[in-house]
Structure 1
Amino acid sequence: MCRRHHPPCREPRPEPESRYQPPQIVVLRKILIIINRKAGTDREKRLGEAIRRHLPAGEFAVETTYLQYLGHGADLARDAVRRGVDTVVAVGGDGSINEIAQGLLGSRTALAIVPLGSGNGLARALKIPLDAGLALEVVANGEKRPMDAGFANEHLFLSNAGVGFDALIADRFRHSKKRGLINYARLVIGGFYSYRPAAYSIRVDGQEQGRKAFLMTVANGNQFGYEFKLAPQASVFDGLLDVCLVPPLRFWDLLPLSIRSLRGSIQQSRYMEHFTGKEIEVSSDDLNCLQVDGDAVPLTNGKTVYFRIAQGALQVMVPAQ
């Protein structure tokens, strides 16, 4: 019946496949690179080549700019946060890294480091290679971790802050035209004989004690630059500050103190008293200097400095585990 009175039954013809393919939207990771121009022309040229090699245009949207005035790094970093930049790369030493970090605190934008400074304390603490190319590999393939930030009278520090002999040397180093470990050592030796250790009143999480000290340093990380470690067990991820007290020294104690600091064994010696806490108050009639991350800053609270920790306040790029 079907064949006589009706046309042959056929299955529906399939619709032809559309050849239209919607365009794929590629979201490039936004990177802002902030360079301290003290790097030098030849070094800067090699850095540019390394950036193009490790952060290729097909994978990253890279913008490069330069520090131009004091505080410019913080301004650039805040603007990067507003623009949704994924990672801000600080190219320079601990001072410029600190300045840039000020604009990133509490945000989701990560800080990455290409260490081109003298001591490179924070880079060493975070296990970031001192070679620029390898450091850029961390920018490209590392992982983000929330690290702690320290404050000394509301001055940010990422590695350490101090009010003792280190603060005096930081102030003199700031006015010196020369950089590097040799010049730093020259300032240390020259300043040692005229320095008089101060008597401090120290309150750690509410417990008060008095000490006379040559160094009175509060550490967030374990590095002071050049591989010197006053707090070898300190970590920028543990939510604690480490108080490092070095008692009054004789000149010939400087060498064994330095050797133990380089080896990371100073805490097991007579050269160090060590405490940990989250809120620290230090006062002294002889308190005249304050350094944060190796840079001298003004005292803003008379003869007292308040130290505190802000746990996980800064996202940082570190080598992938």
Structure 2
Amino acid sequence: MKKILFIINRKAGTDREKRLEHAIRRYLPASAYEVSITYLAYLGHGADLAREAVKNGIDTVVAVGGDGSINEIAQGLIGSNTAMAILPLGSGNGLARALRIPLDVHKALKLIAAGKQRAIDVGYANEHLFLSNAGVGFDALIADQFRHTKKRGLSGYAKLVLKSFTDYQPAEYTIDIDGKIMTEKAFLLTVANGNQFGYEFKLAPGANVFDGELDICIMPPVRFYHLLPVSLYSLLGNIDQTRFLKHLTGKEITISSNELQYLQVDGDAVPLSGNGKVTLKVLPQAMKVIVND
């Protein structure tokens, strides 16, 4: 009998939790699955629960929440035989969209029941895991500000972008990609494993979590009136074909700058260590994930 553990980020109300648990029992009946449900209680709890699940021989850990919760839970599963499944209940749902995981709960549960697995690549920015992307430019500044605001979702993110854009000064970076060194002044400098930030905004449309490489996305300084076309090209998935983006690929990238202040992984701000330097590496086929056909 397959053992499945659901780890839920408890941001929903009691009624929603009851509906979710009912749906879980419907698609994963006790006759075929040994299902356990638990809830995140503190920062880092997801990684602790995932490591415990690996020790207990759990077949699949289901991360229920957004990209931040998924990242945290994944930290405890890297290199193990326990697969991660995603029930996307966040706002952006970048990794779920990249893997074509249905945003509908019932369809996602059907996928979990089907149980098709595939190993995906993961990335590390210094010691911080990322599944979708990591950045040091304007996106990292917004991630740092976003954690201090109560306004969540796309509207809250957009307001911060508009508020912070005018005062932001793009930095000059030295970028080492597998030994090839270049210097670039950039508004955005993002390294992608998956193909999008979330909300269908694709900065690296061709990025693939199965290809063993990272995609480096360099956006030169832009003006305020460029934000609309940049957003539209990102939604259309062809920004890499425009003058707004330089696209490169590599396996190990080092970014350094005297002006380096912020780092985001999967949309969350994390502490920046390394004296103005970030090293990003890909770890191929590092984690098993329940995927779509």
Name the CA distance, whole Å, in 1 between partners of 2:18 and 2:98.
27
Unmatched 5+ stretches in structure 1? 1-27
Please state how far the C-alpha of 1:133 moved relative to its aligned partner: 1.2
Q: Which amino acid aligns with 2:252?
A: E
Q: Which amino acid aligns with 1:137?
A: K
Number of matched pairs:
293
Query: Secondary structure of the equivalent of 2:11?
Result: helix
Residue of structure 2 equivalent to 1:30: 3
Query: Secondary structure of the equivalent of 1:235?
Result: coil
Residue of structure 2 equivalent to 1:108: 81
Q: 1:175-220: per-residue Cα shift (whole Å, max 9, x none)?
A: 1112111111001000101100000000000000000000000000
State the TM-score, normalized to the length of structure 2: 0.99
Could you tell me the percent identity over the aligned residues? 66
Q: Is 1:168 aligned to residue 141 of structure 2?
A: yes
Q: 1:290-317: per-residue Cα shift (whole Å, max 9, x none)?
A: 0000000001212000000000001000
Selected match of 1:261 from 234, 237, 240: 234
Residue of structure 2 equivalent to 1:222: 195
Please state how far the C-alpha of 1:154 moved relative to its aligned partner: 1.6
Q: Is 1:197 aligned to residue 170 of structure 2?
A: yes
Q: Is 1:295 aligned to residue 275 of structure 2?
A: no
Q: Is 1:207 aligned to residue 166 of structure 2?
A: no
Query: Secondary structure of the equivalent of 1:228?
Result: coil
State the TM-score, normalized to the length of structure 1: 0.90
Name the CA distance, whole Å, in 1 between partners of 2:279 and 2:12.
34
Name the CA distance, whole Å, in 1 between partners of 2:14 and 2:255.
43
Please state how far the C-alpha of 1:142 moved relative to its aligned partner: 3.4
After TM superposition, list the pairs within 5 Å mapping 1:227-266 onto structure 2: 227-266=200-239
Unmatched 5+ stretches in structure 2? none
Name the CA distance, whole Å, in 2 between partners of 1:293 and 1:40.
25
Residue of structure 1 equivalent to 2:68: 95
Residue of structure 1 equivalent to 2:48: 75
Q: Is 1:275 aligned to residue 262 of structure 2?
A: no
Q: Residues 39 and 92 of structure 1 are in contact (CA less than 8 Å); yes or no, is this contact kept in structure 2?
A: no
Q: Which amino acid aligns with 1:308?
A: K
Please state how far the C-alpha of 1:46 moved relative to its aligned partner: 1.6
Report the RMSD for the aligned CA atoms in angstroms. 0.7
Residue of structure 2 equivalent to 1:132: 105
Please state how far the C-alpha of 1:39 moved relative to its aligned partner: 2.5
State which structure, 1 or 2, has the greater radius of gyration over its C-alpha atoms: 1
